[in-house]
Every structure is written in C-alpha cells, then in structure tokens.
C-alpha cells in the first residue's frame, strides 16, 4: 500500500473526491534521470515521545505525546504520516507501534524506493489479532500472491516491535523478535525482489472511506464510520541501521537491480557487518500465514499495463481494464472479480501529470 509524500498531493486527492492513501514518487529513476537520494549511511535511533525529528517530513499534522507520534483519522480525508528525509540501501528497521482501531482504518509502516520497490507492515483497524506483510517490486502487481497475514494479538491494545531486516539475500519480518516471514530473491516473484534505496514511511488512512472503490473498502474490513472516531495510531520509536555507507545513492541504467546502485562517497553493503538491533532467528522455510483473510486485491498498485499509472494510490483507471478489486464470498474468502462487476468498482476518471511518474 502507499502513503502520500506531500501535502499538495493530499489536497489534490481530496478535491477530486478521493481519500488519500499511500504512495507518491517525485521522480522514478527507471523512467528518467533523477537527483541522487540522500543516504542515512549509519545507525540512528528516534524517540518520538520526545517530539518530532527534523530527519522526517510530516504530512497531515501528526501530533506528539507521551506515547510518541500520533497519527489520527478524525474526518474524511485525514491521512497523516511521516517520511524520512534519508534513504537506506539495505538495512535493519525496528518500529515500536500501537496500531489504530476502527473499521476500515489502515495503519502502515512502509519501506519504499523511488522506483516503487516496497516492504510493508499493515494493520486493519477492525482486527486486533492480525497483521499483514507484503512486498512489491517496481510497483508491479501483475500477480496478487505476495501478501501474508500473521498472528499479532493485541496490536490495538499495546505496543509491539515490528522489524524488517533487508539485505541482497533475504528480507526477514519479525514481531517482538520472533520471525514470522522470510523472503529471498529465489522465493520472490520473478524480478520482484525489493533492492533499491528506500525511505521509511509511517502513517494512517481510511481504506474504508465511503468514496473508495468497493474493493478497497472490502480489503480494509468495511466502511469507516467517522462518528465512531477519532482513530489513532502511535509510533513510539524507530531504530534504523543503513547497511550501506556514503552521502547519497544514485541509479545507473534502468534495471532497478541493486548492483546498479552507486553509494556516493561510500559503498553499497559497506556497513553490512553492523550489529543488528534484534537478533535474526532461524528463518522459517514457509511463510507464516493465517487462512481466509483478505490480502491484496487487483488494484493495490497497478491493475494492468493498458494505461498510464498515476503516482498515488488508490487510483482509478482512465482506460479500459478487466482487472478489478476482489470481493468477499460470504464465507470469509476473497473472490476474484468478474468482468460484469467492472463498472461498479471504478470511480470517475482521475489523471495526473505523467511526467511525475
């Protein structure tokens, strides 16, 4: 899923009658020449109970208190978030988070690159027992089998530590130090292993907003009732180790392969020997999942290749498409869309400047 980067994008979506959700890229380096990404190049810790950090840019006015950064949805269009001003090129990230309750409310902690590689944690406000993990390469959702759902009891009731350890050989997701999922380049979908410099984004949005496509509302767990809010997600602290060194990261060519990334003034994997902040346990051979839980539908990032994809999500196709959001069956399972359902799930056409993709 995706978090908007700048306030102007948020306003544009609201004025278009859409609820802002989660991703925006100023410049896709696989499509044109882009500025180098500023590197973290070290380890850093952030205690948000002490207030905001100049290392992050906020959208939507998150607040700060004794429980850390507070991301609140109180009314239609609210989607507060923070995004790091630095990138990591492989690394270790620990989020201490209490997810927000509320039907249709989505709390997210995301690593994302300029070319839309992505490593996600997502919590649905209608379920205090589960968390979803996901990954994407280059914003491609030509298949929809990359998500997984894991037991995570009490995620609305108290803080838990959610970890991503990301290298060129594996991604490990942990909850409170216990490994729940492992991905390698060999087990990832073809050419979909995330491997380009990433920022950290944390925030909240209403996937269940009544104006969203029905598939989005279904995935989020139902329609959001703002009268039952406000709904607040908390980020107490964040610990990060960049496994590369230098001042910035640059792309060469259009492959999006990690070997094409240059660490200016340093070295990719130059800090790979750094001690991680949480020990990595033996990786399970099979991803831990819970059956019968809806995970990404066709529409999470890109539905087909037949039209230009705007650089925000959720978005609406401006051309014809047979790919549609999935729907519930009554038994709790998600069913693929049918061609007959295409018209009822598309909102009015929405377009953006294609040069910004």
Residue 287 to residue 150: CA distance in whole angstroms = 9
Q: Which residues contact 340 (CB under 8 A, 6 or more apart)?
A: none
Residue 60 to residue 15: CA distance in whole angstroms = 15
Residue 101 to residue 107: CA distance in whole angstroms = 9
Residue 117 to residue 130: CA distance in whole angstroms = 24
Neighbouring C-beta atoms of residue 336, cutoff 10 Å:
12
State yes or no: is 118 an active-site residue: yes
State yes or no: is 344 an active-site residue: no
Among the listed residues 122, 186, 254, 303, the single catalytic one is: 122
Among the listed residues 70, 94, 118, 303, the single catalytic one is: 118
The residues carrying an active-site annotation are 118, 122
């Amino acid at each position: 899923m995706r978090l908007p980067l700048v306030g102007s994008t948020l306003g544009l979506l609201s004025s278009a009658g859409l609820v802002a959700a989660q991703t925006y890229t100023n410049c896709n380096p696989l499509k044109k020449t882009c500025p180098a990404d500023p590197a973290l190049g070290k380890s850093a810790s952030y205690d948000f109970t002490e207030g905001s950090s100049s290392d992050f840019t906020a959208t939507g006015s998150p607040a700060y208190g004794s429980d850390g950064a507070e991301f609140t949805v109180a009314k239609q269009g609210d989607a507060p978030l923070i995004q790091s001003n630095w990138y990591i090129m492989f690394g270790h990230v620990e989020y201490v988070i209490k997810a927000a309750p509320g039907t249709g409310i989505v709390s997210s902690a995301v690593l994302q690159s300029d070319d839309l590689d992505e490593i996600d944690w997502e919590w649905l406000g209608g379920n205090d027992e589960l968390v979803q993990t996901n990954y994407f390469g280059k914003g491609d959702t030509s298949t929809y089998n990359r998500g997984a759902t894991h037991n995570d009891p009490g995620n609305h009731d108290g803080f838990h530590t959610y970890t991503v350890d990301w290298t060129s050989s594996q991604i490990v997701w942990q909850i409170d130090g216990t490994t729940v999922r492992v991905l390698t380049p060999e087990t990832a979908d073809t050419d979909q292993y995330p491997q380009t410099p990433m920022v950290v984004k944390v925030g909240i949005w209403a996937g269940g907003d009544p104006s969203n496509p029905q598939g989005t509302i279904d995935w989020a767990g139902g329609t959001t009732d703002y009268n039952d809010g406000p709904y607040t997600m908390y980020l107490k602290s964040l610990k990060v180790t960049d496994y590369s060194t230098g001042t910035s990261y640059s792309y060469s060519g259009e492959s999006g392969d990690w070997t094409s990334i240059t660490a200016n003034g340093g070295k990719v994997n130059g800090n790979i020997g750094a001690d991680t902040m949480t020990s990595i346990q033996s990786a399970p051979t099979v991803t831990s999942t819970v059956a019968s839980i809806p995970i990404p539908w066709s529409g999470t990032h890109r539905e087909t290749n037949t039209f230009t994809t705007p650089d925000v999500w959720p978005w609406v196709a401006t051309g014809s498409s047979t790919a549609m959001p999935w729907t519930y069956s009554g038994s709790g399972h998600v069913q693929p869309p049918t061609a007959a359902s295409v018209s009822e799930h598309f909102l009015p056409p929405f377009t953006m400047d294609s040069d910004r993709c």
